[in-house]
Structures are given as structure tokens and as C-alpha cells.
């Protein structure tokens, strides 16, 4: 029985190209996988015979294991390739690696890379479907999808939901993908952070820009905190860790400025006591653990959707 | 009637290698010439030019019929002088040699290449200048003059031997892709170069502010998630340099400007009487940041492509003469330096072969004045560098480019003469190109002969 197509493109390189219909369909499908993942029998055989390669040029425990689990629950053969210590550090380029992997006939290639545009470049050179699991500062589409799903489950909708994305927006692919996806779905997106951590021309991204955490939190339905890399807290972008915590860290007192039923999100891994207090991260309004659960479901939905396209291509 | 034409009309015996190009549209902004006519070439020089130079005049001067070319109304320009050409010789011959660059130049109507010192070894020593000139004599189809490094090894610290380099044949000083960052070093280099009347050519970019940037800083960079180079990196560098020019009185040339603000800075400096000139790359006159599209590294240039408003301001500045020179900024890069994620790829694009056609497209689309374009491509560089050429005047070297202004051709990577194929104009169809290129009266490229 042929299942309906969900995605128009053969790759998922970013959320920038997704329509409202595609996003909604992916979230609806992910809901089905949430239910499946809560059962005793979590496995299907939809992707039986398919090979999925997770190619990670940057270390990432949670995204990589999330993709791995998603592929396995759908019945695919999953191979993880972490690049530290492999041929890429011996001078082999991204494209050499791509050509080599392509020769092994994978069906789905999940890539994480430190440079923006790496997934796009790879997609031009391989014949399988490519999923961007984060490229530089550019996009992290499955993270934005899982965040949107988490918000929708709590707020019942995305339209007119006020989402405050706080912290290092400039260097964050999570922020970029969320800004694009949530705005497209009708949410009112705010970005909140100190000047050096905001992207240039921030006001032209279709968001409201706040230079004070208190102002940015006021009346928010969703508070999304971002991780701040420690190497950016040594005076290069902000003066110190403690100064950042003092002015930009989320604690219970500041959280009270947001709506009473506001939820708190974080893509992880967290710097407790820097951008977020443990009392908030582990508190009643935190949905951080649910985000991880949604991650697996969303990635199953994406893998399923792209595999459907592969079947269509083969049939055509 | 000019003296040369009168001479021609009297029918004196033709000299060695005499040939004539007649029935052309002569375009020579240096002499204010835009009229039908022809030229006669003898011993590598132009000996007669003007409306009087007809086929009959050439014959009566004793030039054999087979050496008289009827140009059928095509345009005859002084050969182009490209003031910013990177080759890979010596050191990176796999990217480009003087020979391969010169083949690209000849095919593009460029009769003189000014090569940059960013080689290995760096052109910061008289012996390397001599090497370049000797290699060029042996292998290049077109004229070659090197610019030498301002600082030893392009390291920005110690001045190179300006006087010896000039004696050896360097035509100006530049640190090439790099900017001299230290105000102290630049001030001294300017003061010293002034004594030798050497032009200082600076890449205007404040490196600290540009940081790890790879494209114009703005909305698009924010969307692509790429680190940006703010326009202020150029503005600050240019304003600082002009203060040092004011201080030293040396001749200064900004190699390439990319923003509208820089145009105004140069305009004011010129109005204030400073000995300042500037150039622009043809890429910045035709393209903008949006051409980068999905991380296309052939559009990764230094300075970066900026906004459409900047592009329009730059074209207007060429028309007004605020921008003196147009360069190709020919920078061959191989697949291993370009087929990489955008941030890791090298800057640069080849351009010798497309320079003229790209400039003509600005004329055809009504954006740029034809005589200003030709002046910026030929006469201005000659004047700035103290070279002969860049004009169709009598006595000038017979470096000529015959242009079919309406010949349509498609840029195909694989057909380019350059050893590297990183062109930003791949698959673009241009209207107009060089069909015959002469250096010292000798043909170095003939489009229809397929050479």
C-alpha cells in the first residue's frame, strides 16, 4: 500500500524550503511515532532493507543517538561514522568522504558538520537522500521540527504563540531554523541576547529584537534558552561566565516575567548555572526532557517521509 | 590630417611587419577618439591612425593586400591592461602559469598583465622580478609587468627594497591579497616609495574587523549562517590609509573597492587634491551577494560581493571617473581549494578571459559609458603605472584589441584557457568579445582562426 508523500524535496537540508503543509504533515506523522515509541513494541519494518549512515564531523551524543534510534525503530540498518580519528582528519575532504560513502549505496545520509553549507554541498555529490543534522551556524531542521512539535503539544497551536529565543543567536543553527519555521507557522518570534551574540541585520529576519532578558521574557508563552559555548565567554563575545549569568541567565525570578503557563525549552546540552538555573531546568515548567522524546519521533517522521520519496523515485 | 596619416597617404615604403586594420570604429578615450577609421602598424608600433587610414591609403604605403584587414565596422580598442592578475608562477604552477594566464588574457583582449607578488617565493626581491620578466619573455603571449611586495614576504613588517625592485622592473608595490595592517609600516613605506615615485597599491581591508568573515555581513550572511565581513572593514582601512597619504604625499591606489561609502571617500579625497586613485573588479560591477545562492564558492571573493545598491554605486562611480581602473582580479583556484564548504574554500575567481565581455555587458545594458569603460580598462592603468600603451595614439605600442560588439558566446568552464576554471560567469551568454588581439603588432589570438 502506497503511503502519501509528505515532502516535496528529496533531501532535508533546512526548514527554509518547507511549506506550512509539509511542516504540519511532518508533525502529524511524528505524533504517530510518539505513540509508537511509548508502546512495548516500538519497532516497525517500514525502512527494512534501507541503509542509513550517520556522518558526524562534530561530536554530538544526543543528536546522533536520536537519529540512530529513529532509524532502528523504523527497521533500517544504521551505521554511525564519527569523523574524529578517521580519514577526514588525515586530509581527506568532505567530498572525498561523500564519494566513498556514496559507493556503499546508502539510502539515507545524516550529516553533521561544523561549516555552514556542508549538507548542501554533500547533497550535490551523492545519490541518496541527505538529512542535515546541523551545519555550522546555518540550520538544524530536525531540532526546529521537534521544538515546534513540543510547543504545539503544550499550546495546542503555533499561531500567535509568543516564543522568546534567548542567548547566543548569532552562532546558533538552532535559533536560525526555529526563527524560520516558527515564523512560517505564524508564531511571534522574539530574539533576546547581548549585541555581540545577535546576528547582523537581526531586525530583518522578521523577528522582534530585545537587548534585555527581562524585556524579552515579558508575556512570553515559550522561553527557549540556547547553549553558550564556553569559548565565547572569555572576553571575545562577552566578558565572563559570571557576568553572563548575572544578566542573561534564566532563573525562577526572571521566569515569572513570562506568562504563568509559559514553558521552558533548551536544545541541550545545558550549561547549568550559566544560561539556565537548575531549579528552572528541572522545574515544573521545563519541557526539556520531552524535547528529547519528540526528537526521536520527529526524526522517524523525517526518515519515513524521505524513504517514501525514494520509493516513488524507484517506481517512476 | 595627422602627420602619420599624411605620411601614409604619401605612400612611403612599409617597414618591417607592416600591417593595417581599416574600416573599424576606433575607440580611444585617451585621445578622445570615437570615429570610423584605421591604424597602420610598423615595427610593433602604431604609425598612423585616423579616418584617413583606409585600405587605399595602406596600399599606397606599400602594405601588401594580405596584411590589410577590413574590420567591417568592428571596434578597435587599445589592448586592455589588467592591473590585478594572480598567477601561480612561481610556486603554484598547477593553478596557473604565466603561459596559461597569458593565453586567457589574449583570448580576452588583454595585452598586458600586471602580476601580483603573492607567489612562492614572493616577489620581494630583484632576482624574482628578473625571473618573472625572463619567464614572461620566454612563455607569455602578452606583456607582463610585476608588482613587487611592499613588505618582505608579504608579512607586513619590513619594507622590501623599493629602489632595487623598481630598477629590476617592478611597476608598483602591493602586498597583494593582504593589507598592510600596521599604520607605522605603511606610513614609512609610503614616505619611502614617494622618493622613488612608486605607486603603493593597497588591498583595503581592516583584517581584525573582517576577522574570519567569508561574505558581506548582512541579512543574507545571517540567513546562510556564515560569518560576515562588515563594510566598515573597508571603510575604516580606506579612511586610515588616506590620512597616511595626506601625511606623506605618496601616490596611493586602492586596489579594489566594494562599497558605496568607499566611492564617496575616494571622491572627497580627490576633490581635496590627494594623489589617490582606486580600482574595482569587474565581478563587483556585475554581481552582488545574492549570486552566492546555495553556498557557491566561485562567488567567494575578497573583498566580498556586497549589496545591489553597492553594485549600482560602483558602476556609477566608473561613469563619473571616481573609480579609475577596472580589473579582473584574476585569481585561479583549483578544485581542491574551491570544492569545499564555503567557509573553508579560498577566495577568488578567474577573470582575464571574461573581463572585456563582462564590461561590454554593462555598456549593452545601458548602465555604463563605453568610453569610460575603455579608459578604465586600458588608459588609466597605463597612466598610473607609467607604461606605454593604453592608447591608439601614433607612436604607441601596437597592442590592439579588435572587438565584435555583438558576437554572442557562452562561457564554458571547460573551454577557458586558464588552468583553473573558477569562473563566476559559467554558462553566462555574453554579447561581444575580442576577436583579434595584437601585441606589438603580432597576432596572439584570433577567434575565428580558433587560436
User: What φ, ψ does residue B121 adopt, rounded to 5°?
Assistant: -70, 160
Distance (Å) from the alpha carbon of B225 to chain A's nearest alpha carbon = 4
Q: Answer with the residue of higher pLDDT: A258 or B336.
A: A258
For residue B44, being part of any structural domain is answered with: no
Q: Is B303 helix (H, G, I), strand (E, B) or coil?
A: coil
Query: DSSP of A224-238, one letter per residue?
Result: EE----GGGTTTTSS
For residue B25, being part of any structural domain is answered with: no
Q: How many domains does chain B have?
A: 1
- What is the pLDDT at residue A284? 96
C-alpha closest to that of B159 among B170, B148, B167? B148
Nearest to A115 among B221, B223, B344 (CB): B344
Cβ neighbors of A297 (< 8 A, separation 6 or more) are A30, A31, A33, A34, A37, A70, A146, A149
Cβ neighbors of B297 (< 8 A, separation 6 or more) are B338, B339, B340, B342, B345, B422
Give the CATH number for residue B316.
3.20.20.140
Cβ distance of B222 and A199 shorter than 8 Å: yes
- What is the pLDDT at residue B2? 41
pLDDT digits over B197-215, tens only? 999 999 999 999 999 999 9
pLDDT digits over B281-298, tens only? 999 999 999 999 999 999
- What is the pLDDT at residue A210? 96
Sheet with A222-225, strands from edge to edge, namely: A208-210, A188-192, A162-166, A222-225, A263-265
Mean pLDDT of chain B: 95
Give contacts of A176 with chain B, Cβ < 8 Å: 222-223, 225
Q: Is B235 helix (H, G, I), strand (E, B) or coil?
A: helix
For residue B5, being part of any structural domain is answered with: no
C-alpha closest to that of B149 among B212, B71, B87, B201? B201
Split at pLDDT 50, 70, 90, the class of B13 is: low
Split at pLDDT 50, 70, 90, the class of A238 is: confident
pLDDT digits over A266-289, tens only? 999 999 999 999 999 999 999 999
Q: Please, are residues A119 and A135 in contact by the beta-carbon 8 Å criterion?
A: yes
Split at pLDDT 50, 70, 90, the class of A315 is: confident
pLDDT digits over B354-363, tens only? 999 999 999 9
| Chain A contact residues (CB < 8 Å to B) | 16, 93-95, 113, 115-118, 120-121, 135-139, 173, 176, 199-202, 204-205
pLDDT (average), residues B179-197: 95
- What is the pLDDT at residue B16? 59
Range from B13-27, B215-229, B424-438 carrying the lowest mean pLDDT: B13-27
For residue B204, being part of any structural domain is answered with: yes
pLDDT digits over B370-411, tens only? 999 999 999 999 999 999 999 999 999 999 999 999 999 999
For residue B2, being part of any structural domain is answered with: no
Q: What percent of chain A has pLDDT over 90?
A: 80
For Cα atoms A79, A82, A87, give the angle at the middle one, nearest 5 degrees.
Answer: 110
Q: Which residues pair with A131 in a beta bridge?
A: A12, A110
Enumerate residues 121 to 180 of chain B having a beta carbon within 8 A of any beta carbon in chain A: none
For residue B127, being part of any structural domain is answered with: yes
**B217 interfacial to chain A (CB closer than 8 Å):** yes
Q: For residues B215 and B289, give the distance between their C-alpha atoms in angstroms, rounded to a whole number.
A: 8
Q: Answer with the residue of higher pLDDT: A229 or B208.
A: B208
Q: Which long-range contacts (CB under 8 A, 24 or more apart) does B261-266 make?
A: B261/B231, B261/B234, B261/B235, B262/B204, B262/B234, B262/B235, B262/B238, B263/B313, B263/B314, B263/B316, B263/B317, B263/B322, B263/B323, B265/B235, B265/B238, B265/B239, B266/B238, B266/B317, B266/B322, B266/B323
- What is the pLDDT at residue A160? 97
Q: Which domain holds residue B282?
A: 79-385
For residue B359, being part of any structural domain is answered with: yes
Given the C-alpha cell 592578475, which residue does it identify?
B85
Nearest to A94 among B221, B225, B341 (CB): B341
Cβ distance of A139 and B225 shorter than 8 Å: yes
Distances (CA, A) of A260 to A207, A267, A284: 23, 22, 12
Q: In chain B, which residue's Cα lies nearest the Cα of A180? A: B223
Q: Does residue A193 carry a pLDDT above 50? A: yes
Q: For residues B375 and A272, give the distance between their C-alpha atoms in angstroms, rounded to a whole number.
A: 64
Cβ distance of B224 and A138 shorter than 8 Å: yes
pLDDT digits over B106-162, tens only? 999 999 999 999 999 999 999 999 999 999 999 999 999 999 999 999 999 999 999
ipTM attached to this prediction: 0.83
Enumerate residues 272 to 311 of chain B having a beta carbon within 8 A of any beta carbon in chain A: 294-295
DSSP B377: I
Cβ distance of A121 and B223 shorter than 8 Å: no
Q: For residues A83 and A99, give the distance between their C-alpha atoms in angstroms, rounded to a whole number.
A: 15
Q: For residues B166 and B163, give the distance between their C-alpha atoms in angstroms, rounded to a whole number.
A: 5
Give contacts of B339 with chain A, Cβ < 8 Å: 93, 95, 121
pLDDT digits over B76-113, tens only? 999 999 999 999 999 999 999 999 999 999 999 999 99
Nearest to A115 among B217, B339, B342 (CB): B342
Q: Does residue A91 carry a pLDDT above 60? A: no
Q: Does residue B12 carry a pLDDT above 60? A: no
pLDDT (average), residues A222-246: 85
For residue B67, being part of any structural domain is answered with: no
Give contacts of A199 with chain B, Cβ < 8 Å: 222
Q: For residues B280 and B202, give the distance between their C-alpha atoms in angstroms, rounded to a whole number.
A: 12
pLDDT digits over A15-65, tens only? 999 999 999 999 999 999 999 999 999 999 999 999 999 999 988 889 999
Nearest to A93 among B340, B342, B343 (CB): B340
Amino acid at each position: 500500500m502506497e503511503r502519501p508523500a509528505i515532502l516535496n524535496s528529496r533531501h532535508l537540508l533546512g526548514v527554509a524550503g518547507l511549506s506550512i503543509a509539509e511542516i504540519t504533515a511532518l508533525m502529524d506523522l511524528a505524533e504517530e511515532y510518539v505513540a509508537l515509541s511509548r508502546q512495548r513494541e516500538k519497532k516497525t519494518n517500514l525502512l527494512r532493507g534501507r541503509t542509513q549512515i550517520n556522518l558526524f564531523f562534530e561530536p554530538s551524543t544526543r543528536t546522533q543517538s536520536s537519529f540512530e534510534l529513529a532509524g532502528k525503530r523504523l527497521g533500517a540498518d544504521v551505521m554511525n561514522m564519527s569523523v574524529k580519528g578517521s580519514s577526514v582528519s588525515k586530509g581527506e575532504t568532505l567530498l572525498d568522504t561523500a564519494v566513498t560513502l556514496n559507493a556503499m549505496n546508502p539510502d539515507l545520509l545524516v550529516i553533521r558538520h561544523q561549516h555552514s553549507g556542508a549538507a548542501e554541498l554533500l547533497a550535490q555529490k551523492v545519490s541518496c537522500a541527505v538529512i542535515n543534522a546541523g551545519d555550522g551556524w546555518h540550520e538544524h531542521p530536525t531540532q526546529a521540527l521537534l521544538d515546534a512539535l513540543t510547543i504545539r503539544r503544550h499550546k495546542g497551536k503555533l499561531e500567535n504563540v509568543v516564543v522568546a529565543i534567548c542567548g547566543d543567536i548569532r552562532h546558533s543553527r538552532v535559533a536560525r531554523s526555529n526563527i524560520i519555521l516558527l515564523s512560517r507557522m505564524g508564531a511571534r518570534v522574539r530574539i533576546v541576547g547581548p549585541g555581540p551574540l545577535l546576528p547582523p541585520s537581526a531586525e530583518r529576519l522578521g523577528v522582534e529584537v530585545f537587548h534585555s532578558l527581562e524585556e524579552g521574557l515579558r508575556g512570553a508563552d515559550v522561553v527557549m534558552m540556547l547553549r553558550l559555548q564556553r569559548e565565547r565567554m572569555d572576553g571575545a563575545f562577552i566578558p565572563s561566565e559570571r557576568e553572563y549569568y548575572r544578566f542573561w541567565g534564566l532563573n525562577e525570578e526572571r521566569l515569572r516575567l513570562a506568562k504563568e503557563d509559559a514553558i521552558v525549552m533548551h536544545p541541550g546540552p545545558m550549561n547549568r548555572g550559566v544560561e539556565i538555573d537548575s531549579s528552572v531546568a528541572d522545574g515544573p515548567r521545563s519541557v526539556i526532557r520531552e524535547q528529547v522524546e519528540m526528537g526521536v519521533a520527529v526524526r522517524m517522521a523525517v526518515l519515513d517521509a524521505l524513504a517514501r520519496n525514494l520509493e516513488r523515485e524507484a517506481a517512476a | 590630417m595627422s602627420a602619420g596619416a599624411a605620411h601614409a597617404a604619401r605612400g612611403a615604403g612599409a617597414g618591417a611587419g607592416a600591417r593595417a586594420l581599416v574600416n573599424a570604429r576606433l575607440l580611444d578615450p585617451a585621445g578622445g577618439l570615437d570615429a570610423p577609421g584605421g591604424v597602420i602598424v610598423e615595427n610593433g608600433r602604431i604609425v598612423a591612425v585616423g579616418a584617413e587610414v583606409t585600405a587605399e591609403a595602406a596600399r599606397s604605403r606599400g602594405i601588401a593586400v594580405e596584411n590589410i584587414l577590413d574590420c567591417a565596422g568592428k571596434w578597435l580598442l587599445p589592448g586592455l591592461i589588467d592591473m590585478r592578475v594572480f598567477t601561480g608562477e612561481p610556486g603554484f604552477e598547477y593553478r596557473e602559469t604565466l603561459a596559461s594566464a597569458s593565453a586567457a588574457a589574449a583570448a580576452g583582449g588583454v595585452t598586458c598583465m600586471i602580476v601580483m607578488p603573492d607567489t612562492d617565493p614572493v616577489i620581494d626581491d630583484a632576482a624574482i622580478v628578473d625571473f618573472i620578466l625572463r619567464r614572461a619573455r620566454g612563455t607569455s603571449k602578452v606583456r607582463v609587468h610585476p608588482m613587487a611586495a611592499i613588505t618582505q614576504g608579504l608579512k607586513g613588517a619590513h619594507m622590501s627594497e623599493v629602489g632595487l625592485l623598481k630598477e629590476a622592473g617592478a611597476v608598483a608595490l602591493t602586498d597583494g591579497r593582504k593589507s598592510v595592517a600596521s599604520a607605522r609600516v605603511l606610513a614609512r613605506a609610503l614616505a619611502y616609495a614617494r622618493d622613488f615615485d612608486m605607486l603603493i597599491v593597497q588591498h583595503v581591508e581592516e583584517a581584525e574587523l573582517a576577522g574570519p568573515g567569508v561574505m558581506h555581513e548582512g541579512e543574507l550572511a545571517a540567513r546562510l549562517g556564515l560569518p560576515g565581513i562588515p563594510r566598515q572593514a573597508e571603510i575604516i582601512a580606506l579612511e586610515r590609509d588616506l590620512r597616511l597619504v595626506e601625511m606623506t604625499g605618496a601616490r596611493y591606489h586602492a586596489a579594489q573597492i566594494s562599497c558605496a561609502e568607499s566611492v564617496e571617500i575616494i571622491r572627497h579625497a580627490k576633490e581635496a587634491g590627494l594623489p589617490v586613485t582606486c580600482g574595482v573588479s569587474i565581478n563587483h560591477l556585475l554581481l552582488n551577494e545574492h549570486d552566492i545562492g546555495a553556498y557557491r564558492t566561485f562567488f567567494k571573493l575578497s573583498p566580498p560581493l556586497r549589496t545591489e545598491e553597492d553594485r549600482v554605486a560602483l558602476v556609477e562611480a566608473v561613469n563619473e571617473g571616481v573609480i579609475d581602473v577596472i580589473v579582473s582580479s584574476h585569481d585561479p583556484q583549483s578544485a581542491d581549494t574551491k570544492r569545499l564548504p564555503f567557509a573553508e574554500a579560498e577566495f577568488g575567481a578567474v577573470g582575464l578571459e571574461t573581463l572585456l565581455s563582462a564590461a561590454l555587458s554593462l555598456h549593452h545594458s545601458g548602465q555604463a559609458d563605453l568610453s569610460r569603460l575603455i579608459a578604465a580598462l586600458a588608459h588609466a592603468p597605463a597612466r598610473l603605472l607609467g607604461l606605454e600603451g593604453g592608447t591608439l595614439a601614433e607612436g604607441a605600442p601596437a597592442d590592439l584589441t579588435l572587438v565584435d560588439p555583438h558576437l554572442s558566446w557562452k562561457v564554458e568552464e571547460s573551454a577557458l584557457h586558464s588552468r583553473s576554471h573558477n569562473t563566476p560567469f559559467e554558462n553566462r551568454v555574453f554579447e561581444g568579445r575580442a576577436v583579434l588581439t595584437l601585441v606589438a603588432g603580432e597576432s596572439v589570438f584570433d577567434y575565428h582562426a580558433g587560436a
